[in-house]
Chains A and B, each alone.
Chain A
Amino acid sequence: MITIAIAKGRMQESALALLARAGVRLSEDEVNSRRLAIMDETGQYRFIFVKPADVPVYVEHGIADCGVVGRDVLLESEADLLLPLDLGIARCRMVVAAPDPEAMTNVQGMIRVATKYSQIARSHFGSRGIPVEIIQLSGSVELAPALGLADMIVDLVETGRTLRENGLTVVEEIAESTGRLVVNRASYQLKADEVSQLLNALTTAKS
C-alpha cells in the first residue's frame, strides 16, 4: 500500500479526475465525507487530504509516499523531494504585478513587495540583484498596492481577472506552475514497484 497526500482546494478536483482516468477510483461518498484519510476501491492506495503547504512536509518525512501539489508550493517550501512527473493540471502562473506597468524602473528607492510566497519573491529578486523589502501577507495580496502597503506583488494568477479588477498588470512572469507528483526519496527505492506502477498509470492518463 502506498499513501498519497493530495493538496486540498484548487488541486483536489483535477487530481482526483486524473487519478480516476489512471484507474484509481475513490467512492464519491467517502470523498464528500469529512474523513481525512480514505482508501481507494482496490485498497492499494490510501489518500490523505491536507493543506497544500503541508503536502511537501508529509512526503518529505515519509508519512506519505507520494503527493500531488502545485509547483508554486514546492518552490516556496524548498523541500528535498523527487519530482518525477508534471501532471499538467491546475495550470497557473507565478507573476510580479503592479499598478504601473513600468514599476520596475519607476519606483524610487527600495521596492516593497507584498506576497504570500516570500521565499519565491526573495530568490526571484535576489537572483537579479534587485534589493527589495518583502512584506509577508496571508491573503488578498492584490489589495496591498491599492492601499499603499506595497509597490508590487508576487502572486499566483490563473486567468488574471482578479488582477485586472484591482487595477494591476503583470510586470514579469516568474514561473509557470502546474500540479506535480512528488515522491519521498526512501519510498522511491523501497516501494519501487508500486511507485513506478503509479507513475506509469498517471503518465498514460495525462496524455
Chain B
Amino acid sequence: MRYYIGAEARLRRTVEDVAMSVFEGWNYEEVITPSVDYYALFEQGMGQREAQRGFRFTDNDGRLLALRPDVTSSVARMAATLLSERPRPLRFCYAAPVFRQQTQSHAEWRRENTQLGCELIGAGGKAADLEVLRLAAEILSRLNLQSQYCITINNVEIFNGVAAQMNLALWTREQLRRLIDTREAAELQRFLQDCDSREGQAFSQPTQLTGKREVIQTARGLITNERSVAALDSLDELWTEIESLGLQDSFEIDLGDVSSLDYYTGLSLKIFVHGAGTSVGRGGRYDGLTGSFGRAEPAVGFVLNLDALTEVLGRKGTRG
C-alpha cells in the first residue's frame, strides 16, 4: 500500500514511459489484460504454488476468481486462443499492477507491484533470447543506470540434466536445489559426497558458479550428460553474442540461479541494480507455458518492477 505524490508520481510515470517506448521501438505491441480473472487461469499459467500467492475470492455464483498475480498467464492464453491464427512471432508488452500476498522475500513487502514486461511468443533459439536481454539492457541504460546494473543469466537445463543423471528422488532433488540456491557450501559438499556423483561436483563450489565465461569452462570439465551439455553450449553461444555487443560488463553467468526450475525451460535471468536490496526484475524462457492453453510454442520474456526502480532512481535523485 503505497501513495505516489507529485514529483514521485512524475518520476514513476517517466520510468514507465521510458520502458514502454523501448518496447515500442522493438515492435512490441501494448496489451492490457483483465485485472480480475478466473483463478484457474493463473494456476494453469504459474503453477499451483505461485498462483496461491494471489488474492482469491468468489463471485455470487461461487466461481473462484483472483486478482491477477501475473500478466504472463493472460498473455499466453491470449496467444494460444484469441490470436492462434496470427502469424508468429508475437511481441507484446505491458505496464500493469499485479497483486500477491505472502511474498517469499520479506523485503518485498508490497502486495501491489507494477510490472513492466514483455513476451516474445513463437520464437525460440538464441536470437529470441538475445532480443529480450538487449531490451532489458537498453531500458536500464536509458534510465541512466548504465554500469549500475547487473543481469545474471543461466540455463535451467544445466541443473535439470545433472539432477536427472544423478537420478534423485523428488525430495532429494529439491534439497539439492535449495542448497545451491542459498549457496550453502559446507552442506552442499556433504550432500554431494553422499550422492557420489562426478557431475554433481560441478555445483560443489558455489563461488565458482558465478562469473563470466570461465564459469562455463569449469562446468564443462565435470558435466558430460547430453542435456546439460546442450544447455551449456547455448549459454556459451549467448555469452559470445553478449561479448560482441560489448555488454559483458553488465552481464554475469550464474549457474546457481535455480530458484524457479518448474517454470523456466531454458534461459533464466535476474536483474539487479545498485541501491536495491532485492532483484528488480526477472525472466526467462517458458516453452511449456502456452502448451497448457492448447498451443505449444516457444516463448521468452521478462518483467521489471516499476516500484523498485522508481525507489532506486528517486533516492539517487535526491542524493544528487
Chain A residues within CB distance 8 Å of chain B: 57, 60-63, 79-86, 183-186, 188-190, 192, 196, 199-200
How many A-B residue pairs have C-beta atoms within 8 angstroms? Tell me: 63
Listed A/B pairs (29) with beta-carbon separation below 8 Å:
A57-B106, A61-B107, A62-B277, A62-B278, A63-B277, A79-B106, A80-B106, A82-B182, A82-B183, A83-B182, A83-B184, A84-B183, A84-B207, A85-B185, A85-B186, A86-B185, A86-B187, A184-B277, A185-B279, A186-B273, A186-B276, A186-B278, A188-B183, A189-B150, A189-B252, A190-B272, A192-B210, A192-B211, A196-B207
Secondary structure of the A contact surface, majority rule: mixed
Q: Which residue of chain B lies nearest to A186 when distances are taken between CB atoms in the complex?
A: B272
Assess whether B105 is interfacial by the CB under 8 Å rule.
Answer: yes
Residues of B within 8 A of A82 (CB): 182-183
Residue in B182, B187, B210 whose CB lies within 8 Å of A81: B182
Is A60 in contact with B105, judged by CB distance below 8 angstroms?
yes
Say whether B10 faces chain A, with CB atoms less than 8 Å apart: no
Residues of A within 8 A of B152 (CB): 189
Contacting residues, chain A, for B279 (C-beta < 8 A): 185-186
Question: Residues of A contacting B277 with CB < 8 Å?
Answer: 60-63, 184, 186
> Which of these, A83, A84, A185, contacts B278 with CB under 8 Å?
A185
Name the residue in B105, B274, B277 with the highest tally of chain A Cβ atoms < 10 Å from its Cβ: B277
User: A61–B109 Cα gap in the complex (Å)?
Assistant: 10
Shortest Cβ distance from B270 into A: residue:
A189
5 closest Cβ contacts across the A-B interface? A62-B277, A80-B105, A84-B183, A61-B277, A86-B186
Contacts of A189 on B, CB cut-off 8 Å? 150, 152, 210, 252, 254, 270, 272
Q: Is B60 an interface residue (CB 8 A)?
A: no
Of B105, B183, B210, B273, most A-chain CB atoms within 10 Å: B183
Q: Which A residues touch B185, using CB under 8 A?
A: 84-86
Inter-chain pairs besides A60-B105, A189-B210, 17 sampled, C-beta below 8 Å: A60-B106, A60-B107, A62-B276, A83-B182, A83-B183, A83-B184, A84-B185, A84-B207, A86-B185, A86-B187, A186-B276, A188-B210, A189-B152, A189-B270, A192-B210, A196-B207, A199-B207
Residues of chain A contacted by B184 (CB below 8 angstroms)? 83-84, 86
Nearest chain B CB to A87 CB, angstrom units:
10
B206 interfacial contact with A, CB 8 Å:
yes
Is A192 a contact of B252 with CB atoms below 8 Å?
A: yes
Q: How far is the CA of A144 from the CA of B220 in the complex (A)?
A: 57
Which B residues are in CB contact (< 8 Å) with A185?
278-279
Measured CA separation A83–B186 after assembly (Å): 10
Q: In the complex, how many angstroms separate the beta carbon of B58 from the nearest chain A beta carbon?
A: 29
Q: Chain B nearest CB: distance from A183 CB in Å?
A: 8
Find chain B residues with CB under 8 A from A83 CB: 182-184
CB-CB nearest in chain A for B206: A84
Residues on B with beta carbons closer than 8 Å to the beta carbon of A84: 183-185, 206-207
The closest CB in chain B to the CB of A182 belongs to: B182
Which residues of B are found within 8 Å of A63, using beta-carbon distances? 277
Proximity string of chain B (128-149) to chain A, C-beta cutoff 8 Å, 1 when within and 0 when not: 0000000000000000000000
Q: Shortest Cβ distance from B242 into chain A, in angstroms?
A: 16
Asked whether B104 is an interface residue with its Cβ less than 8 Å from the other chain, the reply is yes
The CA of A79 and the CA of B182, in the complex, are separated in Å by 11
Residues of A within 8 A of B186 (CB): 85-86
Which of chain A's residues have a CB closer than 8 A to the CB of B274?
Answer: 190
Q: What CA separation (Å) do A79 and B152 show in the bound complex?
A: 22
Separation of A132 and B184 alpha carbons in the complex (Å): 31
Complex CA distance for A196 and B273, rounded to whole angstroms: 19
Contacts of B252 in A (CB 8 A): 189, 192
A204 to B183 alpha-carbon distance, docked (Å) = 18
How far is A81 from B182 in the complex, measured between Cα atoms in Å? Answer: 7
Within 8 A of A (CB), among B86-108: 104-107
Instruction: Kindly identify which residue among B104, B150, B206, B272 contacts A80, using a CB–CB cutoff of 8 Å.
Output: B104
In whole Å, how far is A5's beta carbon from the nearest beta carbon of chain B?
A: 13
Q: For residue A82, give the distance in angstroms from its CB to the closest CB of chain B.
A: 5
A83 to B182, CA, bound (A): 6
Q: How far is the CA of A62 from the CA of B152 in the complex (A)?
A: 18
Residues on the B chain within 8 Å of A81, using CB:
182
